[in-house]
Chain A
């Protein structure tokens, strides 16, 4: 019986080889992971030694300053507005780009490649770099920060919008095509209703991310609450820092609440 089944040993051999390759692969990944720990100088001891300083810093923050509240409130509002305008501009530019960059609806191969490349570029360049460039171009203030948020956000929104479009149910599109509807009408009724809830959700999510990004952008002079935060840190005014942190926390909460409200209405 064993003599007339020559394929069985061969198969096991192949499977054993595959298993060995997988095992070596796993070892390599593990090795890289360990090396990464060393490379980032990960050290629990170092962290433990820093704890007293950390506690001291936190103690210095209390009580939060009250005299700068009006100034912080104005800057907070500016941060919120930067994120809002930046996200809205990004969404406005990303929607048409996404339709060009989605395989199933793009009108041409070449436009598809160009828009894909542009979207990848805006994602690859960090918003901080865009902010530095725009600050150099238009000066300090919230405007360059907003531009930086808008351009960098295209990178994520454009990509995720396009992926949403690629995942639609083609049956609905085909049904409209079969009625003799114009391609624009097919887009309007076959594609848009399917992608709208995701588009809204993704945009709100990006708004949330942009709030935090705009805080960081303040560090390079691009306006908003981040600008105040850098100033306070540099002058060791830790009580003002705490006030600012509390304000950032409040903005994030507000955005979170607004987002979930809008999301509920749309889905």
Chain B
């Protein structure tokens, strides 16, 4: 039986017992376990330093976890190297706080970079993209509302536009899950909204599980199907809605309530 799109195919992405201790002894993650469904938009909130970024980075091995594993559709993607690691990463898109576009090439070329893993090495290095690839990249840009910026150099775009190009790049990658690490922390509220809309689109229309790290609770309430809360490297909250009770927010943020709504 094949898995079909729908919000409730459980264990699509499965994280179990993930822990990270840095060489200096800092315990950033302690035994974190949870599962994400197909097309689920989950937000993880908590104070800065709670371990949210580490959790995301450990999920696709940008940081190597000390213990635990991550499975996508039952396939383990932790502790891999070389070709296997690359194949696993193809299934996990990553959105960075600082966008991390290749600044000196066009928006379209940046989106094409999302497909590199599916291209033969020699052709991609010579920058010989096929017509189909270019059309598909353009399609991705149009889905985030930037079809008209395709040939503009990435560093001439505004922050919000750059982050949406990054989302188009992730879309071109055809991942099963997108990990977004503070995607709107460097943006003004209006740009933040367009970026969150684009991420929401990935989950709702493309059936991709989106796992987004935010530190503002109010954004979580507006966009998330589910809210996870982290404190001192542990998962301390998991509820089936974006909205959080006042007590829960206090529990997560302690006395620093203004950080939650900053």
Contact = CB atoms under 8 A, between A and B. Distances in A.
Interface of A: 169, 171-172, 174-182, 184-185, 188-190, 193-194, 196-197
Contacts of A194: 102-104
B100 A174 contact: yes
A179 B117 contact: yes
B173 A185 contact: no
Given A176-B102, A179-B173, A185-B124, 8 more contacts: A169-B103, A171-B96, A175-B96, A175-B169, A178-B93, A180-B117, A184-B125, A185-B116
Contacts of B98: 171
A174 B85 CA distance: 14
A76 to B, nearest CB: 37
B101 A172 contact: yes
6 contacts: A169-B103, A171-B100, A172-B100, A179-B173, A180-B85, A184-B125
Contacts of B124: 185, 188
The binding surface of chain A is classed by DSSP as helix
Contact of A179 (B101, B103, B114, B125): B114
B86 A182 contact: yes
A168 B41 CA distance: 34
A246 to B, nearest CB: 41
Interface string B40-65: 00000000000000000000101000
Interface residues of B, number: 32
B18 to A, nearest CB: 18
Nearest to B83: A182
B177 to A, nearest CB: 12
A180 B88 CA distance: 7
A176 B88 CA distance: 14
Given A175-B100, A189-B102, A181 B94 contact: no
B24 interface: no
Contacts of A175: 94, 96, 100-102, 166, 169
Contacts of A184: 121, 125
Contact of A178 (B87, B89, B102, B121): B89
A184 B114 CA distance: 15
B105 interface: yes
Contacts of A190: 102
Residue picked from B86, B88, B105, B170, most chain A C-beta under 10 Å: B86
A177 B89 contact: yes
Contacts of A172: 100-103
Interface in B97-125: 98, 100-105, 113-114, 116-117, 119, 121, 124-125
B62 A193 contact: no
Interface string B167-200: 0011001000000000000000000000000000
Contact of A193 (B89, B93, B104): B104
A74 B113 CA distance: 49
Nearest to B127: A188
B88 A193 contact: no
Given A184-B121, A185-B116, A179 B90 contact: yes
B164 to A, nearest CB: 15
Contact of B173 (A177, A180, A188): A180
B92 interface: yes
A177 B62 contact: yes
B121 A182 contact: yes
A175 B102 CA distance: 9
A176 B116 contact: yes
Contacts of B114: 179
A185 B96 contact: no
B75 to A, nearest CB: 14
Nearest to A182: B121
Residue picked from A182, A188, A190, most chain B C-beta under 10 Å: A182
Given A177-B62, A179-B89, A181-B116, A193 B100 contact: no
B60 A178 contact: yes
Contact of A180 (B87, B96, B100): B87
A104 to B, nearest CB: 15
A196 B170 CA distance: 25
Contacts of B96: 171, 174-175
A181 B125 contact: no
Nearest to B179: A178
